């Protein structure tokens, strides 16, 4: 029988982030909590006892700096063990830590600090500090700034350093934990602001505790302590906070911190994670890299493709518990000779759960990973739902985002919008009651802004954002996300953006994959493998256009992409083209490539 919202609410009654952290510290004091790579490539680590001792020191320092219950502490930090300590310490000081994206400009820092009314700011290094100093006179509520890394002592005298957080004694964590109540504001997640100023999503301690309990019911295992996880995505995003920070502190994970998202690949091989969350682009790059390497040996590529074709239906039958003994034996053979070596090479052979989220992933790529033995699934949710809304780790249907997570009610509104209700739903947008009322109705339903479909098993499929549907000049409503997913299955294409709103037909901008395209060109005897040059090369254009015909075969004439413009400039996260979690900033893309788009319709 499925767990209900009320049952989860009863299970987490009285819980806060500090109370659950202390339970793990007491139960597993010697368990490694946090790991990091030193400059000399050696590894450092802290146990849960070490973690708690540092939290007690920083909590004391925050209290000494005048931080009181309800105050905001703004954080601009990389994925670093010190982040976990500082963020956790803020709770024991009764405060609300607020992470902001590391790419934030000085102007954005000014807006976020003032909107949140932060009293203290803690930043990683001098580069981050400078953005605060540039607007310091315009930050009336900010009383103290702390910079954690200042090796040359360049910070102004009124800026505190790392040692100032660890030289003011320690609080009694048990006593400090009593200051916080479940209804208190735990954190605010600022939306990335693609359609206006970012909104502060208010999440309470109850929201966080409820959601971790919900995820425990959703995970396909019962033992959590020591599970290896890599923390590498922005902590200003709910996905990373929930995956490595909150779940880590509540369940006893061993969290390895990777300071830059772009550097995660070698960490995967070194850590051999048990649980891995990634945005689609991370998995798309792995998929493209494996296939690019295989393409260098035609015989190997053919055999691997044959193994995939034979194993795909068996992998699905195994997932749904319908595989015969003969099928199991066949899959075991294919796994041993074809798939296991690939998983071991990448460093994902120990994975027990792999999750893609924050943006749609092509169904074919998800199916490919599951076929080669990676237990991958797709999750759907938003900051306003504390992260998850729909997800299942088993009995996965590629192309869907699974059923409602345990305890959360999810359904379609009359117009097809996905709405949900449960203990994971936020309390509102900070200082914005009108926008809160738009997202959260009087019956407690959170309106996602996404159009969806639901099948006979209760699995949801995302059609598109209500505001992003393309309406052609002929009045046809078209989902750009579905088209973009198929375009990314063209082997040479890494990224895509469908165009067509108020246009006579649908076109697209496609970006060459920086790993696959040069390898393909080299195999074709093309000497200049620079992406910009390849984007104009007749052989590349012909290959992409041939792939376009195949990719659009499932769409009717009005929906299908008719023309593409090939680009040799990779779109990077946290830019004017992509959000920090690699969602398309369509307005930015349309502005950057206005002339290329006009050319498609000339």
Please give, one letter per residue, the 3-state secondary structure of 98-148.
EECCCCCCHHHHHHHHHHHCEEEEEEEEHHHHHHHHHCHHHCCCCCEEEEE
* pLDDT for position 437: 94
* pLDDT for position 466: 66
Number of independent structural domains in the chain: 1
Among the listed residues 116, 103, 113, the one whose alpha carbon sits nearest the alpha carbon of residue 139:
113
Stretch 33-47: mean pLDDT: 96
Confidence of residue 171 (pLDDT cuts 50, 70, 90): very high
Stretch 301-317: mean pLDDT: 93
**In contact, 249 and 52? CB cutoff 8 Å:** no
Does any domain span residue 299? no
Residues of 346-357 as b/e, b for ≥16 C-beta within 10 angstroms? bbbeebebbbbb
Cα dist. 188→117, 135, 426, 504, 579 in Å? 12, 22, 10, 43, 18
* Rounded CA separation 453/451 (Å): 7
Does residue 382 have a pLDDT over 70?
yes
Please state, for a pLDDT cut of 70, what percent of the chain lies above it: 97
**In contact, 256 and 80? CB cutoff 8 Å:** no
Identify the bridge partners of residue 203 per DSSP, sorted by sequence position: 187
Does any domain span residue 311? no
Cβ burial of 594 (10 Å; 0-12, 13-18, 19+) is exposed
**In contact, 207 and 424? CB cutoff 8 Å:** yes
**In contact, 129 and 161? CB cutoff 8 Å:** no
Stretch 14-21: mean pLDDT: 98
Stretch 295-308: mean pLDDT: 87
Does any domain span residue 494? yes
Q: What is the pLDDT of residues 173-229, one digit of tens each?
A: 999 999 999 999 999 999 865 556 789 999 999 999 999 999 999 998 889 999 999
**In contact, 209 and 23? CB cutoff 8 Å:** no
* pLDDT for position 53: 98
Cβ burial of 219 (10 Å; 0-12, 13-18, 19+) is middle
Least trusted range by pLDDT, from 36-45, 108-117, 244-253, 505-514: 505-514
Stretch 430-448: mean pLDDT: 94
* Rounded CA separation 33/176 (Å): 21
Identify the bridge partners of residue 418 per DSSP, sorted by sequence position: 412
Range of the domain at 518: 470-600
Confidence of residue 471 (pLDDT cuts 50, 70, 90): low
Which residues, including other chains, have CB under 8 Å from residue 178's CB and lie 6 or more apart? none
Q: What is the pLDDT of residues 78-92, one digit of tens each?
A: 999 999 999 999 999
**In contact, 291 and 305? CB cutoff 8 Å:** no
Does any domain span residue 440? no
* Rounded CA separation 276/296 (Å): 29
* Rounded CA separation 407/423 (Å): 8
Helix (H) or strand (E) holding 60: helix 48-64
Cβ burial of 493 (10 Å; 0-12, 13-18, 19+) is buried
Task: Share the mean pLDDT of the chain.
Answer: 91
Does any domain span residue 507? yes
Which residues, including other chains, have CB under 8 Å from residue 481's CB and lie 6 or more apart? 360, 462, 463, 464, 465, 468
Which residues, including other chains, have CB under 8 Å from residue 593's CB and lie 6 or more apart? 509, 565, 567
* Rounded CA separation 53/59 (Å): 10
Q: What is the pLDDT of residues 542-560, one digit of tens each?
A: 999 899 988 888 888 778 8
Does any domain span residue 222? no
Which residues, including other chains, have CB under 8 Å from residue 208's CB and lie 6 or more apart? 17, 186, 187, 242, 246, 386
Stretch 344-352: mean pLDDT: 91
* Rounded CA separation 124/496 (Å): 34
* Rounded CA separation 342/75 (Å): 39
Does any domain span residue 37? no
* pLDDT for position 81: 97
* pLDDT for position 192: 65
Among the listed residues 378, 214, 352, the one whose alpha carbon sits nearest the alpha carbon of residue 276:
352
CATH number at residue 475: 3.30.300.30
Stretch 459-471: mean pLDDT: 77
Does residue 334 have a pLDDT over 80?
yes
Q: Is 301 left (phi over 0), alpha (psi -120 to 50) or beta?
A: alpha
Q: What is the pLDDT of residues 120-153, one digit of tens each?
A: 999 999 999 999 999 999 999 999 999 999 998 8
* Rounded CA separation 263/570 (Å): 17
Does any domain span residue 183? no
């Amino acid at each position: 029988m499925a767990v209900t919202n009320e049952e989860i609410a009863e299970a987490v009654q009285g819980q806060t982030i500090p109370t659950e952290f202390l339970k793990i510290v007491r139960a597993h004091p010697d368990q490694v909590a946090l790991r990091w790579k030193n400059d000399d490539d050696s590894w450092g680590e802290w146990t849960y006892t070490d973690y708690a001792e540092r939290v007690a020191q920083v909590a004391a320092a925050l209290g000494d700096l005048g931080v009181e219950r309800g105050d905001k502490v703004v954080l601009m930090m990389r994925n670093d063990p010190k982040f976990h300590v500082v963020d956790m310490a803020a709770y024991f000081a009764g405060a609300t830590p607020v992470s902001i994206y590391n790419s934030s400009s000085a102007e954005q820092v000014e807006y976020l600090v003032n909107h949140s009314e932060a009293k203290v700011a803690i930043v990683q290094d001098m580069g981050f500090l400078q953005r605060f100093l540039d607007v310091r006179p315009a930050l009336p509520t900010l009383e103290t700034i702390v910079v954690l890394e200042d090796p040359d002592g360049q910070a102004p005298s009124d800026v505190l350093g790392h040692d100032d957080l660890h030289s003011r004694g320690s609080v009694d964590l048990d006593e400090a934990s009593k200051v916080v109540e479940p209804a208190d504001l735990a954190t605010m997640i600022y939306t990335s602001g693609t359609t206006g100023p970012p909104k502060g999503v208010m999440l309470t301690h109850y929201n966080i505790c409820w959601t971790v309990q919900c995820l425990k019911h959703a995970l396909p295992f019962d033992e959590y302590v020591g599970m290896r996880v890599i923390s590498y995505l922005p902590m200003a995003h709910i996905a990373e906070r929930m995956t490595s920070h909150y779940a880590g502190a509540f369940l006893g994970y061993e969290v390895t911190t990777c300071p830059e998202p772009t550097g995660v690949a070698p960490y995967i091989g070194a850590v051999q994670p048990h649980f891995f969350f990634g945005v689609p682009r991370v998995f798309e790059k792995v998929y493209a890299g494996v296939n690019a390497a295989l393409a260098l040996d035609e015989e190997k590529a053919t055999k691997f493709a044959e193994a995939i074709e034979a194993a795909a239906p068996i992998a699905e039958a195994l997932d749904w518990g319908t595989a015969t003994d003969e099928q199991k034996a066949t899959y075991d053979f294919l796994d041993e000779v074809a798939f296991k070596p690939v998983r071991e090479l990448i460093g994902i052979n120990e994975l027990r759960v792999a999750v893609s989220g924050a943006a749609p992933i092509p169904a074919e790529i998800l199916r490919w990973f599951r076929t080669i033995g990676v237990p991958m699934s797709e999750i759907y949710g938003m900051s306003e739902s504390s992260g998850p809304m729909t997800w299942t780790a088993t009995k996965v249907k590629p192309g869907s985002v699974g059923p409602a997570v345990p305890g959360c009610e999810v359904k379609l509104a009359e117009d097809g919008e996905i709405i949900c209700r449960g203990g994971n739903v936020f309390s509102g947008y900070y200082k914005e009651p009108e926008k809160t009322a738009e997202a959260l109705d009087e019956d407690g339903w959170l309106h996602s802004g996404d159009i969806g479909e639901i099948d006979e098993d209760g699995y949801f499929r995302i059609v598109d954002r209500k505001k992003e549907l393309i309406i052609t000049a002929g009045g046809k409503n078209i989902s750009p996300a579905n088209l973009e997913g198929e375009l990314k299955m063209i082997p040479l294409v890494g990224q895509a953006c469908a165009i067509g709103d108020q246009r006579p037909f649908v076109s697209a901008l496609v970006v060459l994959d920086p790993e696959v395209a040069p390898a393909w060109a080299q195999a074709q005897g093309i000497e200049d493998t620079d992406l910009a040059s390849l984007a104009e090369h007749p052989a590349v254009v012909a290959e992409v256009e041939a792939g376009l015909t195949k990719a659009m075969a499932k769409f009717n004439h009005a929906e299908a992409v008719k023309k593409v413009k090939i680009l040799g400039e990779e779109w990077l996260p946290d830019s004017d083209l992509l959000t920090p979690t690699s969602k398309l900033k369509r307005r930015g893309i349309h502005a950057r490539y206005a002339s290329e788009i006009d050319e498609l319709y000339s």
